[in-house]
A and B are shown apart, each in its own frame.
Chain A
Amino acid sequence: MICYQTWPLELSASEFTVGRWGICRLERSQDGGAFLTGPERERAESFRCRLRRAEWLGARAGLRRMLQEAGIAPRPSECNITKDRRGKPLVDIGGAGGAKRVDGSLAHKDGLAGFAAVWDPTVKIGIDLEAVSTKPWRCRRAFATRGDYLLDSESSDSYYCVLWCCKEAASKALGKGLLIDFRELVISESASGRFTVGGNGRDLMAGRYLLFDGMVAAVVMMSHAAGCGRRDRSVRTGRGGNRGEEV
């Protein structure tokens, strides 16, 4: 694991950390050490795309390491990552105290892996990574609306990439994938990199995005309470993060 960085996720009403999110890049698919299982390495070996192998393994290694550092999964080998039929990661943590499940999300792009998890059972999470390109602009009619608002100008190269990244992260938090009309998710950036996701006239979710090195990363959290219309339980991501490091 050559690059690994995480940030806390907090509920603004309480300010305690309910989860974390991060990004990492594996230089080689052999990296990742104790944070990967034998079957995961075997599965990744079947991928013909070298970058995809590094992304797939990097997301799982990063997630396990983050959960270990947070004290949620002290032994990475007891952290089992599977997916439901809609592709949403299921993170089951075993151990002497019995199994528990945390809500997780994984993303990948251009060799970079994104991972996020929340251990508050009332919160769902989604993460997405995109490379800044003209692709989102080309299919903007499928997801962008006039109600969407970013502080960045619509004429900038990154506008539609950020918008798509935020909406896909929101769709993942909802566990919907493509089972959603992305135009019904309305993005509103309130401060630099901080946004809410509205739907049906009310704020449902809140999140944060980062632009770095031609990439966009977005994370969205939805609390069940907020989903029921309680706007006071909005979600914010922490400002502080650990520094990138090499392992």
Chain B
Amino acid sequence: MARKLTEDDKQRIFEEIREYLADELEIDKEEITRDTHIIDDLGGDSIIFLEMIEEFKEKYQINIEVRAIGQYMLKNPVYTVGETVNAIFDIIERGDELLAGLGDDQ
């Protein structure tokens, strides 16, 4: 189900993502900015992305396949915390309409 996020929602989600990464990767939250590279700077990996996606899918009751998110990420590469945050905003706001307008790229 798609929804419109407010600026407060977006700030809260950004903080949730920072806290998640800080906990999982044992890094001081204050070191994590929008420009931080999740793999190269924090030592993250694909399972981190997968778990984050699953957590937000459950929390916001989004019914979307990982494959669809993979297609979205092919068009909108996700390397930094800022890019991840924007992707999560899109996933929550657009839900199963996430791929509309992106074209098919299997």
Contact = CB atoms under 8 A, between A and B. Distances in A.
B51 A179 contact: no
Contact of A179 (B36, B42, B43, B71): B71
Q: Which of B43, B49, B73: most chain A CB closer than 10 A?
A: B43
Contact of B67 (A48, A49, A180): A180
B46 interface: yes
A139 B43 contact: no
Contact of A49 (B41, B48, B65, B105): B41
A177 interface: yes
Contact of B54 (A49, A108, A109, A142): A142
B43 A51 contact: yes
Given A47-B40, A48-B41, A179 B70 contact: yes
A176 B46 CA distance: 13
A178 B43 contact: no
B51 A138 contact: yes
B50 interface: yes
Interface string B38-75: 01111101111111011000000000011101110110
Interface in A80-107: 85-86
Could you say which interface size class chain A belongs to?
Answer: 20 to 34
A48 B71 CA distance: 28
B106 interface: yes
A203 interface: no
Nearest to A56: B40
A195 interface: no
Contacts, number: 69
A52 B70 contact: no
A46 B74 CA distance: 24
Contact of A135 (B37, B41, B47): B47
A142 B51 CA distance: 9
Contacts of B71: 179
Contacts of A47: 37, 40-41
- Chain B CB count within 10 A is highest, among A56, A138, A142, A143, for A142
Contacts of A51: 43
Most buried by B among A56, A108, A179, A181: A179
Given A130-B47, A164-B47, A181 B42 contact: no
B39 A52 contact: yes
A52 B66 contact: no
A141 interface: yes
Interface of B: 24, 36-37, 39-43, 45-51, 53-54, 65-67, 69-71, 73-74, 105-106
7 A-B pairs with the lowest CB-CB distances in the bound complex, closest first: A178-B70, A48-B41, A179-B70, A47-B40, A49-B43, A139-B54, A139-B51
